[in-house]
């Protein structure tokens, strides 16, 4: 199984990504987590990543590709992956498609999780009070949602045109979202 989770901040990509990876026994590749780990390592690239993440800006494509491609190659050899948060720009999507072609694999589906903006904001502020991620503060949240709409949004028509987009309502309890995703993936009603 090779899936991409495409979702604005707060939609539950991470939660659903972990569950789907366990369900399909494939690796969960969370772009934000990989980049945060590199930031914490404190390398020169890591310091640059940390600055983009703290502002809620996307990390430049070249840095993202360098961090993500090895993980994707390894997971593809191991039988599949749940990509969570990568690709997130059109150039990343093109690079990912070229990589997949070179590896002789293709995405089975792109799961687009959607929810109203006030729901997303409330969830992120709730998370902030528990875990305190540097980018979970009101003005950075607002910025991340705008970046999603402007820069990641174009991936929705991109994958729709390729016939693999599955849109799922994320404004439901996590178990219901998981059930909807699994039903849509096994029923094929999306295509
Ligand atoms: P969220 O989706 O809630 O913003 P993530 O952990 O997926 O959480 O991403 C956090 C931050 O990591 C983003 O704001 C961005 O700075 C960086 N990031 C994650 N994935 C990518 C990507 N594919 N391209 C560029 N930057 C990314």
Burial of 52 per CB tally in 10 Å (0-12, 13-18, 19+):
middle
Global confidence as pTM: 0.94
pLDDT of residue 146: 98
Q: Residues 25-51: what's their mean pLDDT?
A: 95
Say how many Å lie between the CA of residue 53 and the centre of ligand 1: 7
Whether the pLDDT of residue 189 is over 60: the answer is no
When pLDDT is cut at 50, 70 and 90, the band that residue 174 belongs to is: very high
8 CA closest ligand 1 atom index: 2
Tokens of 54: 């703290």
Whether the pLDDT of residue 154 is over 50: the answer is yes
Percent of the chain with pLDDT over 90: 93
Whole-angstrom distance, CA of residue 129 vs CA of residue 136 = 9
Say how many Å lie between the CA of residue 96 and the centre of ligand 1: 16
Q: Residues 153-173: what's their mean pLDDT?
A: 98
- Of 158 and 128, the structure prediction assigns the larger pLDDT to 158
CB of 64 within 6 A of ligand 1: the answer is: yes
CB of 17 within 6 A of ligand 1: the answer is: no
Rounded mean pLDDT of the chain?
95
Whether the pLDDT of residue 188 is over 80: the answer is no
pLDDT of residue 191: 42
Tell me the CA distances in angstroms from 100 to 16, 33, 107, one per residue in order: 23, 22, 8
Tokens of 183: 């039903």
Whether the pLDDT of residue 190 is over 50: the answer is no
Burial of 118 per CB tally in 10 Å (0-12, 13-18, 19+):
exposed
Say how many Å lie between the CA of residue 187 and the centre of ligand 1: 30
Q: Residues 138-163: what's their mean pLDDT?
A: 97
Question: DSSP string spanning the chain?
Answer: -EEEEE--TTS-HHHHHHHHHHHHT-EEEEHHHHHHHHHHHT-HHHHHHHHHHHHTPPPPHHHHHHHHHHHHHHHHHTT-EEEES---SHHHHHHHHHHHHHHT---SEEEEEE--HHHHHHHHHHHHHHH--TT-SHHHHHHHHHHIIIIITTHHHHHHHTT-EEEEE-SS-HHHHHHHHHHHHHH-TT-
Tokens of 180: 């909807």
Whether the pLDDT of residue 3 is over 70: the answer is yes
């Amino acid at each position: 199984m090779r899936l991409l989770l495409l979702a604005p901040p707060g939609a539950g990509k991470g939660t659903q990504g972990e569950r789907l990876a366990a369900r399909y026994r494939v690796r969960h590749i969370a772009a934000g987590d990989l980049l945060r780990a590199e930031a914490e390592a404190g390398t020169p690239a890591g310091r640059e990543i940390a600055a983009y993440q703290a502002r809620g800006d996307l990390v430049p494509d070249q840095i993202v590709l360098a961090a993500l491609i090895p993980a994707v190659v390894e997971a593809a050899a191991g039988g599949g992956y749940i990509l969570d948060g990568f690709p997130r720009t059109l150039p990343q999507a093109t690079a990912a498609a070229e990589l997949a072609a070179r590896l002789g694999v293709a995405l089975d589906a792109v799961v687009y999780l959607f929810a109203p903006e006030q729901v997303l904001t409330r969830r992120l502020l709730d998370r902030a009070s528990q875990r305190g991620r540097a980018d979970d503060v009101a003005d950075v949240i607002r910025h991340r949602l705008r970046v999603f709409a402007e820069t990641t949004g174009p991936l929705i028509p991109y994958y729709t045109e390729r016939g693999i987009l599955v849109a799922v309502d994320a404004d439901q309890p996590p178990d219901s979202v998981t059930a909807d995703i699994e039903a849509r993936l096994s029923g094929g009603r999306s295509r």
